[in-house]
Amino acid sequence: MAVVRALVAPRLAAAASTFAPLPGLRPLLPRGPASSPRAAFHASAPRPGARVALVLSGCGVYDGTELHEASAVLVHLSRGGAEVQIFAPNIPQMHVIDHTKGQPAESETRNVLTESARIARGKITDLAQLSAANHDAAIFPGGFGAAKNLSTFAVDGKDCKVNKDVERVLKDFHKAGKPIGLCCIAPVLAAKVLHGVEVTVGHEQEEGGKWPYAGTAEAIKAMGAKHCVKGVTISFQQLGTARAHVDQKNKVVSTPAFMCETALHHIHDGIGAMVTKVLELAQK
């Protein structure tokens, strides 16, 4: 054993020095909400790009942000060279859903900002601090949090109320002529706030369960917006904006995402089409 220790000890010491923190670097520790807007930006690429505000609604499809949608948005923004700052309102969730059962967890309460920080890897800012003057575009992923926490659409349908900061952000970006992107159920936010806007949540018939939330289209029309039918799965000949609708006049881009029961890569690609158009509009 003495021989083994003599052989192994120098290697362990070398390994320890290899992985020791470099001078000037702090250890990786959890951080709270970012204190300054610029500090909170996720650097996506070395070159300067559009400054995009990503607005989350919690963490988890049934009571917050749909994680796959948020991740897809971040991947496509990174690929497009954007600088991303992530926001969420500092409010309680409508309720907490046990995602293993699909049922409310009656004894639990959670905060939308705190839960959204999980997706943001700690780099999160209170939505109350979001100013259109500091950003070139805003994007809202879907998930039931958009209909439960950012608005009351899940309960009140066409008669819903939109969170005051969400309403302010939508109106401010619209007034400034800056593009807004929306996924999945999130287009109902724009439909309620921006009168006459054009959006898509996919198809208007359930089609045997492929579009389980097709009834949302009628609520969008009832709120005074125009619903445009768009698919998620497309042929090679339909590449481009076939997976996303672009309202050129209002600079609002939407895609159905998980409003459709389909494979994840189709959702990812549809979100990519939306992000690409948002970034293009941000440069005009």
Query: Quick check: is 184 catalytic?
Result: yes
User: DSSP characters for the chain?
Assistant: -HHHHHHHHHHHHHHHHHSSPPTTPPP-----S-SSTGGG-EE--SS---EEEEE---SSTTTS--HHHHHHHHHHHHHTT-EEEEEE--SB-S--EETTTTEE-TT---BHHHHHHHHTTT--EEGGG--GGG-SEEEE--STHHHHTSBSHHHHGGG--B-HHHHHHHHHHHHTT--EEEETTTHHHHHHHSTT-EE--S-SS-TTTTSTTTTHHHHHHHTTPEE----SS--GGGTTTTTSEEETTTTEEEE-GGGS---HHHHHHHHHHHHHHHHHHHT-
Q: Please report, as a single letter, which amino acid is at residue 245.
A: H
The active-site residue, picked from 59, 160, 183, 184, is 184
Q: How far apart are CA 28 and CA 101, in angstroms?
A: 35
Spell out the residues 6+ positions from residue 73 whose beta carbon is closer than 8 angstroms to its own.
54, 139, 141, 181, 183, 271, 275
Picking from 95, 106, 107, the residue whose alpha carbon sits closest to that of residue 60 is 95
Q: How far apart are CA 141 and CA 166, in angstroms?
A: 13
Just list the catalytic residues: 184
